[in-house]
């Protein structure tokens, strides 16, 4: 499929991007849906909360591992086609979860859902990279990201609300209906029916192996540096986010449910950025977005760590989310240019390394709170991300692939 012009996206591509936003919304909703359910799942299946939490941990591990599979698959058969079928597949796992008769079967269904969910966001971003010219790609990625960012908020709120009213099985069932409907719409799009040539490397050899593609990507200095920054971004940002609710509970004596609601404002900040992204991109440029976003995140988490009243945290979490997505959106657009000839693998690698960084961040911050207060841990993570954002534009250097590869 040919790229759009440098200033205009044709109507069919714009429609596909809108449909893709609904798919990313469903993807992030199902990832966060179980967070508020754990007490209810524990009671239903008569297990401990730590055992019930396996529905979250197994999902996360599967999601990360399946990036190995979907990157090359999308490069070979077509990114939009693969993610469309994967979206339909997610509905099977959701409907199975709704009728789960014990915890092991629910975990199995969550693994099935994670397997399919893993394709949606990375291949969606890669497809945008293939289709949209670099000059408007970051604004377009922000439009797609609006769906996933809203899904972060929706998963937390929707999961708790439906569980408290209709019951947790209904939550899975309704999201399953959403996945099935969106998947059918994606499959009806002519883009999903296009026949594509398998991705090839610079010498023309067919590249189908995740490991071969990854080795090829790592031969280049700039992608190595981008991926290192992505890993650190996940460590600092999501490490801080992971202990935020506990910090509010301990620091301000808030109920856990109320603390979680305040932390969800992080997603509201992300949605706000996505809505303003085209103006900010035009005004600040890529370097300005990274540096301003990282600094905003750092200042916000300094306030969260040492605020004297939780009311200040309402604004701080919106600011933290706004700043993080300014940084993250720019990282996404750089990731799409790491190796355009195997872009599907690039975005799968992006997701896998971001996931690895998140895992390290959660472990690191949890360990640090055993030695210093959570206030200082949050300040440290915010400061580290601010420094990373400040040096990032100069460290990765210019993108030599943009003129010919965008």
Query: pLDDT for 77-98, tens place per residue?
Result: 778 888 889 999 999 999 999 9
The tokens describing 384, both together, are 């580290």
Q: Is 72:344 a contact under the CB 8 Å cutoff?
A: yes
Residue 372: domain span = 209-393
Same domain, 285 and 150: no
State residue 135's pLDDT score.
72
Helices and strands counted in the chain (H then E): 19, 0
Residue 206 dihedral angles phi and psi, to the nearest 5°: -75, 135
Domain C-terminal end among 162, 194, 226: 194
State residue 376's pLDDT score.
93
Report which DSSP code applies to 254: -
State residue 37's pLDDT score.
75
Listed as ranges, residues in the chain with pLDDT below 70 are 1-10, 35-36, 49-50, 156, 191-210, 256-257, 397-406
Same domain, 281 and 151: no
Same domain, 363 and 230: yes
In CATH, what number is assigned to the domain containing residue 380?
1.20.1250.20
Same domain, 166 and 258: no
Percent helix, strand and coil across the chain, each to the nearest 5: 80, 0, 15
- Written as one string, the DSSP assignment of 68-90 is HHHHHHHHHH-HHHHHHHHHHHH
**Residue 236 is assigned to a structural domain of this protein:** yes
State residue 91's pLDDT score.
92
What is the largest distance, in Å, between two alpha-carbon atoms of the chain? 62
State residue 95's pLDDT score.
94
State residue 333's pLDDT score.
81
Rounded CA separation 118/59 (Å): 10
- The angle, 0 to 180 degrees and rounded to 10, between the axes of the packed helices 343-368 and 120-131 is 130
Report which DSSP code applies to 177: H
Same domain, 241 and 146: no
Q: How far does Cα 317 stand from its chain's mean position?
A: 18
**Residue 201 is assigned to a structural domain of this protein:** no
**Residue 40 is assigned to a structural domain of this protein:** yes
State residue 316's pLDDT score.
93
Domain C-terminal end among 153, 168, 194: 194
**Residue 3 is assigned to a structural domain of this protein:** no
Same domain, 173 and 283: no
**Residue 401 is assigned to a structural domain of this protein:** no
Number of domains present in the structure of the chain: 2
Rounded CA separation 123/76 (Å): 12
Same domain, 162 and 223: no
Q: For residue 249, what are the CA distances in angstroms to 77, 364, 369, 374?
A: 48, 20, 14, 11
**Residue 233 is assigned to a structural domain of this protein:** yes
State residue 210's pLDDT score.
65
Same domain, 224 and 175: no
Same domain, 284 and 322: yes
Same domain, 239 and 150: no
**Residue 318 is assigned to a structural domain of this protein:** yes
**Residue 398 is assigned to a structural domain of this protein:** no
Same domain, 361 and 248: yes
Same domain, 141 and 28: yes
Rounded CA separation 353/6 (Å): 30
Domain C-terminal end among 194, 224, 258: 194
- Written as one string, the DSSP assignment of 287-312 is HHHHHHHHHHHHHHHHHHHH-SSTHH
């Amino acid at each position: 499929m040919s790229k759009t012009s440098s200033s205009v996206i044709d109507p069919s591509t714009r429609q596909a991007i809108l449909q893709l936003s609904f798919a990313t919304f469903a993807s992030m909703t199902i990832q966060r849906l179980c967070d508020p359910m754990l007490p209810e799942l524990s009671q239903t299946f008569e297990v401990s909360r730590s055992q019930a939490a396996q529905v979250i941990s197994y999902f996360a591990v599967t999601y990360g591992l399946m990036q190995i599979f979907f990157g090359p698959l999308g490069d070979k058969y077509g990114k939009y086609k693969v993610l469309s079928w994967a979206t339909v597949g997610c509905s099977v796992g959701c409907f199975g979860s709704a009728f789960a008769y014990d915890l092991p079967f629910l975990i199995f269904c969550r693994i099935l859902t994670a397997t399919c969910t893993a394709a949606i966001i990375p291949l969606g971003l890669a497809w945008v990279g293939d289709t949209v010219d670099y000059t408007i790609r970051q604004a377009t990625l922000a439009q797609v990201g609006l769906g996933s960012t809203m899904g972060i908020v929706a998963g937390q709120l929707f999961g708790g609300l439906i569980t408290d009213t209709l019951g947790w099985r209904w939550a899975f069932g309704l999201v399953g209906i959403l996945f099935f409907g969106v998947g059918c719409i994606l499959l009806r799009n002519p883009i999903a029916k296009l026949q594509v040539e398998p991705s090839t490397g610079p010498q023309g050899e067919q590249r189908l192996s995740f490991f071969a593609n990854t080795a090829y990507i790592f031969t280049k200095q700039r992608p190595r540096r981008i991926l290192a920054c992505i890993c650190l971004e996940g460590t600092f940002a999501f490490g801080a986010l992971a202990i935020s609710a506990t910090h509010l509970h301990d620091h301000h004596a808030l109920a856990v449910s109320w603390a979680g609601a305040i932390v969800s404002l992080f997603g509201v900040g992300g949605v706000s950025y996505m809505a303003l992204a085209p103006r900010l991109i035009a005004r600040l440029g890529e370097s300005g977005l990274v540096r301003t976003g990282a600094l905003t995140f750092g200042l916000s988490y300094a306030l969260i760590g040492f605020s004297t009243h939780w009311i200040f945290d309402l604004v701080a979490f919106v600011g933290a989310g706004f700043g993080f997505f300014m940084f993250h959106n720019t990282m996404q657009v750089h990731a799409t240019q790491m190796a355009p000839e195997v872009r599907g693998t690039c975005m799968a690698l992006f997701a896998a390394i971001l996931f690895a960084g998140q895992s390290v961040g959660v472990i690191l911050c949890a360990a640090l709170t055993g030695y210093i207060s959570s206030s200082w841990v949050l300040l440290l993570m915010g400061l580290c991300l601010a420094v990373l954002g400040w040096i990032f534009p100069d460290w990765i250097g210019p993108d030599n692939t943009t003129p010919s590869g965008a």
